[in-house]
Structure 1
Amino acid sequence: MTRTIDKVTVLGTGVLGSQIAFQTAFHGVDVVAYDISDEILETAKQRFHGLAARYTQDLPDAGTRAEEALGRVRYSSDLADAVRDADLVIEAVPEALELKRQVYTQLGELAPERTIFASNSSTLLPSDMVDFTGRPDRFLALHFANEIWLHNTAEVMGTPATDPDVYAAVVAFARRIGMEPIELRKEQPGYVLNSLLVPLLNAASALYVDGVADPETIDKTWRIGTGAPAGPFQIFDVVGLNTAYHISSVSESEKQRRFAEIIKERFIDQGKLGVATGEGFYRYGEQA
């Protein structure tokens, strides 16, 4: 029989961690939002109130549910306290393997035996982290896209050691909180979404670097030709140009490294990081 998940803890209250926690609470599940200090949690509370406003704006049927969701979130900077009753812990801490090792080593000692661990990592495979967890059968990846209330995919990826019952429980949980579970049959860097998206972004950046067309033309071509709501440079702005820079700067492709140099010189050094700062390849508050 598939186990049920009724109590969830999210580790990390950054942009995506906050979204995961709020989406869970919005769908009626109690959540503990954990971060390493009370100061960070105060910032997180502001972020959660902002999410409540976005949900109300973007989801016609939100009604009072967004405000009610705020009451289902408990905040804690004490890891033992945060995970003591958790059926599922979703880890959304920065993408550093040594930090993940420290987190999972502590978790393995503090969380109940029954607790499932799931990583939202987008760059590390579950197999990279499984040895840290102390419970390889109860560990997998659960990956969300940004603005998860709109782009509601939840990619589920286990390791060969993941218990099928645990995998099924996480799929059922994802569906319960309004996500569309994307079930991967084997480990894949980039999962499904980024395996499709990254080649598009790389092709677009190469066209830009080579001077073939400007970002507006490239985006317009993609939108008209495919019916997609956004082009690749609009996607870069949503993802954030800092992220695009860091990924491109360590690429084996000389063209991608040149793209990193260009966006640093023309955008990042000017404080233009994308949607988050109001300007990137496009200016926001105006028609992109």
Structure 2
Amino acid sequence: MVISKVCIVGSGYLGTQIGVLCARHGYNVCMQDVSTDALNASKKSVDEYVQQWIADDDLIVPDGEIVKQRISYTLDIAEAVQGAGLVIEAVVERLDVKQEVFKRLDALCAPDVLIATNSSSIKVSNIEVTTRHPERVLNLHFYGYPWKRRIVELMRGKSTSDEVMDAAQGFSHSIGVYPLMVLKESTGFIFNRVWRAIKKECLTVVDEGVASFEDV
């Protein structure tokens, strides 16, 4: 599975951040959305991220221009997925919307194209049921500012193949993020489940009078 182009469906806050990170690491990226305003906002955000990297001496000006040139924008989802080896869905967190998007993507993409959701709460198995090729569907769960919080959680569905998971793991490394492998479907993945337990214990420590709220 060769990935040279990444398509991002949903050009909001996190979709744009994923897209610009991919472009920074050499991938051609197409941002797709149903709203012209959303695409314009995405382009503005890309400019701001690149300018911040330059200001922080993380990037030189010519390379910043190259990053921006690698990103295209379109309202047409069929155009967006052309030539893409990986499609990452980052639309609103609603199962019915995601199912409709995946049904469309499954029809448009060749069977060897990876299709991932960035969902933070919806299980892959609830999305893959709308596709003819569920073996290529998975979850790539990024966190905000992924060039700072350099982790991504990879979770398979009921039908996701090992080959797809291996390809997604390799892709994650290629964009400078560490893949946390969720070995079976789990609401909350890894990070949020562990963080939830930590927060609960913090409240217990305060409630039992072991320490003050401020110290905890």
Structure 1 residues not aligned, in runs of 5+: 223-288
Is the helix fraction higher in 1 or 2?
A: 1
Alignment of 1:1-288 (within 5 A): 3-58=1-56, 60-64=57-61, 65-202=63-200, 217=214, 221-222=215-216
Number of matched pairs: 214
Which aligned runs of 4 or more in structure 1 are off by greater than 4 angstroms? 202-210
1:213 & 1:123 partners in 2: Cα distance?
32
How many angstroms apart in 2 are the aligned matches of 1:67 and 1:27? 13
Change in 2 beyond 3 A, CA 1:68/1:162 = same
Determine what percentage of the aligned residue pairs are the same residue.
31
| Structure 1 residues 170 and 205, CA gap change in structure 2 (3 angstroms) | same
TM-score by length of 2: 0.90
**Quick check: 16-25 or 159-168, which moved more?**
159-168
Larger radius of gyration: 1
Alpha-carbon distance, 1:184 to partner: 1.9
Residue 140 of structure 1 deviates from its aligned partner by 0.5
Deviation of the 1:207 alpha carbon: 8.1
Give, as a single letter, the amino acid of the residue that structure 2 aligns with 1:99: V
Change (3 A) 1:52 1:126: same
Question: Is contact 2:143-2:151 (8 Å) kept?
Answer: yes
Give the aligned residue type for 2:30.
V
Q: Distance in 2 between matches of 1:154 and 1:126?
A: 15
Alpha-carbon displacement from aligned partner over 1:242-276 (angstroms, at most 9, x marks no partner): xxxxxxxxxxxxxxxxxxxxxxxxxxxxxxxxxxx
* 8 Å CA contact 1:7, 1:87 repeated in 2: yes
Q: Please tell me the residue identity of whatever aligns with 2:117.
A: S
CA distances 1:79-117 after superposition (whole Å, capped 9, x unpaired):
111112211100111110011111111111222232110
Give me the whole-angstrom Cα distance separating, in 2, the residues matched to 1:19 and 1:12: 11
Greater relative CO (CA pairs within 8 A, separation 6+): 2
CA contact (8 A) 2:10 2:90 kept: yes
Deviation at 1:189, TM superposition (A): 1.3
Q: Which has the higher strand share?
A: 2
> 1:206/1:102 Cα in 2 relative to 1: closer, same or farther (>3 Å)?
farther
Q: Is the 8 A contact 2:111 2:136 kept in 1?
A: no
TM-score, normalised to structure 1's length?
Answer: 0.68
State the alpha-carbon separation in 1 of the partners of residues 55 and 204 from structure 2.
Answer: 36
CA–CA separation in structure 1 for the residues paired with 2:201 and 2:121: 20
Q: Unpaired segments of 5 or more residues in structure 2?
A: none
Is the Cα–Cα contact under 8 Å of residues 86 and 112 in structure 1 kept in the other structure? no
- Aligned-pair RMSD on alpha carbons? 2.3
